[in-house]
Amino acid sequence: MQIAFLDEFGHCGPYVSRTDPKYNTSPVFGLAGYVMPAANVRHFATFFYQLKQFMLAADIKAAGVHPATWEKKGAKLLTTKNIRKYPHVREGVNRLLNELYKCNGRIIYYGREKYKSPEESNSGGLYNTVMGHSIRAIDRYCGLSNSPFLMILDQHSSRIKLLEAASKTMFGSEPARYLLEPPFEVESHLYQTVQAADWIATLVGRIEARRAKPDEYEAWEWAERLFGNKIDALATHSRMWRPSRAI
């Protein structure tokens, strides 16, 4: 059996430009993370737990909580300042990706570059589309080895309708036959595996935003330069939809 751990990257709301006073969050939106044989998940979780303690010991000590219940969001960790100032952050991300490969894990993502005006945008519809494509991508990957899979997401207060959409994908006219149950939602600060997915999703989001709008996201050139090739090499059944493919 395989288990997929996914989180969001980018933002599902409208986007005009990075300098727009209202619609400036991200030119892309998607789900990203990794899929891994269930037998290797505990080892990978332990590795991430230890890596997090090594990388962020001072932050954990300052928080005064047990490392198993402490979380550093990827958006706060993988910043241009941190990448430039702290070599151990770069090294830690590389170690994470290397260990993922050793555990026979693969990065998987589906995202879309935005092109519609704010008036035409539909964030709910965008999320439904991304969710459906993500489930089918994982289903195709797991079908290669005839492996059933479970899908785990970070908890989100507005996801009930999206989980309903996922259930319809599972049992629809073209069912996701290897998905055992609709996706589970969990509290990410309690799950090392979901925290790892958040870091990976953040990295994918940085890379894809840079690829979508290189002039606007010039500061994120490090994401492509340091990690772009490795992310591409580890990714399977992944796709970034571009406006050039629009009708």
Cβ neighbors of 194 (< 8 A, separation 6 or more) are 5, 7, 152, 153, 154, 186, 188
pLDDT at 159: 64
Coil, strand, or helix at residue 247?
coil
Instruction: Please determine, for residue 247, whether its predicted confidence score (pLDDT) is greater than 50.
Output: no
Q: Convert the pLDDT of each residue in 135-172 to its tens digit.
A: 999 999 999 999 999 999 988 756 666 677 777 778 87
pLDDT tens-digit series, residues 50-80: 999 999 999 999 999 999 999 999 999 999 9
Q: Which of 33-42, 139-148, 177-186, 196-205 has the lowest mean pLDDT?
A: 177-186
Provide, rounded to the nearest whole percent, the portion of the chain with pLDDT above 70.
96
pTM: predicted TM-score of the whole model, two decimal places: 0.94
Q: Does residue 118 register a pLDDT over 60?
A: yes
Q: What is the pLDDT of residues 15-37, one digit of tens each?
A: 999 999 999 999 999 999 999 99
